[in-house]
Amino acid sequence: MNKVYIHEKENENKSILMNQLIQSAEQNQVKLINQPRKADAIVILGNDGDFLHGVRKTNFSSNAVYIGVSENESVGLYSSVPFSRKDDIWKNISNTAYTQKHDVLHLSIDDREDRFYACLNEFSIRSGIIKSIVIDVQIDDSHLEQFHGDGLIVSTPSGSSGYNKSIGGAVVDPKLTSLQISKIAPLTNSRYNVFHSPLVLDHSRKIRFDIIQDGNDHPIIGLDNEAFPISHIRSVELSLVPRALTHFNLPEANYIDQLKDQFLNKK
């Protein structure tokens, strides 16, 4: 029997839906547990933001399939199961036809073991003060440029339609395995010249950001939809772990249709 952990951010408005979700699981003879690390499946109730938060809180489990259940009939890229279809989950948890794999971004700060993090959507680094941040960008063993501006984003394909898209980055099909670097308000004049276009890289590439120590070395670090105040940063190293997270999706879900629903269809 599959062991299932149901995760929910604390929110009084969701308590009724949570009870209904638990009742549905029990009626389908699902074994519910309270330890995510021992779960075969982790169910997250809410929107895509709640899903990202839940994945982080359960430490990006590689042993479980993650299932995002929407609070209503409106679905997202991750919270892809409408609440009315919750009963379809339990009998198909182990059905690989209902799952897809997502890449996970790994990063370390200042080469310290206690500063190792993961992201499903994107990593961002932004100036923490009203002053451009200066970053040396290195790809593998080659120096690409010295960036001057508000910040940089490194996104996964599944996260490319989020923050990355909002600053002009390319939307990348999650069937591809890649990294993308996009720039937040780059400073361009006769003194500074930057690579303006978003840069899509093969998944095997290693990225390193060296933050120039000019008084702006306390940037704001963003991991998916959460900000982390980390004081005094010298370097960030990033790499992609392909297909590291398993996500439950209904077979009829179509990425192109999801993009249309999210960005083109009028609500």
pLDDT digits (tens, 9 = 90+) for 96-135: 999 999 999 999 999 887 889 999 999 999 998 888 999 9
Active site amino acids: 48
Q: Is the pLDDT of residue 11 over 70?
A: no
Domains of the chain: 3-94 (3.40.50.10330), 104-242 (2.60.200.30)
Q: Is the pLDDT of residue 12 over 60?
A: no
Out of 40-49, 135-144, 213-222, 252-261, least confident range = 213-222
Convert 210-221 to b/e letters by CB count within 10 Å (16 or more is b): bbeeeebebbbb
pLDDT, tens digit (0-9, with 9 covering 90-100), for 202-253:
999 999 999 998 876 678 999 999 998 777 899 999 999 999 999 999 988 8
pTM: 0.92
Is 164 flagged in the annotation as binding? yes
Cα distance between residue 89 and residue 87, in whole Å = 5
In 3D, which of 171, 172, 168, 194 has the Cα closest to residue 182? Answer: 168
Q: Is the pLDDT of residue 172 over 90?
A: yes
Is 121 flagged in the annotation as binding? yes
Out of 20-29, 38-47, 64-73, 107-116, least confident range = 107-116
The DSSP-derived string for the chain is: --EEEEE--S-GGGHHHHHHHHHHHHHTT-EE-S-GGG-SEEEEES-HHHHHHHHHHTT--SSSEEEEE-SSS---SSS-B-GGGTHHHHTTTT-GGGEEEEEEEEEEETT-GGGEEEESSEEEEE-SSSS-EEEEEEETTEEEEEEEEEEEEEE-TTTTTTHHHHTTPPP--TTS-EEEEEEEEE--SSS-----S-EEEETT--EEEEE--SS---PEEEETTEEEE--S--EEEEEEEEEEEEEE--TT--HHHHHIIIIIS--
Out of 133-137, 143-147, 190-194, 214-218, least confident range = 214-218
Cα distance between residue 157 and residue 256, in whole Å = 14
Is 79 flagged in the annotation as binding? no
For residue 230, the one-letter residue type is I
Is 53 flagged in the annotation as binding? yes
Torsion of CA 98, 103, 109, 112, to 10 degrees: 70
Is 98 flagged in the annotation as binding? no
Q: Is the pLDDT of residue 9 over 80?
A: no
Checking DSSP bridges between strand 31-32 and strand 41-45, what pairing results, if any? unpaired
Checking DSSP bridges between strand 235-248 and strand 65-69, what pairing results, if any? parallel
Cα distance between residue 218 and residue 69, in whole Å = 37
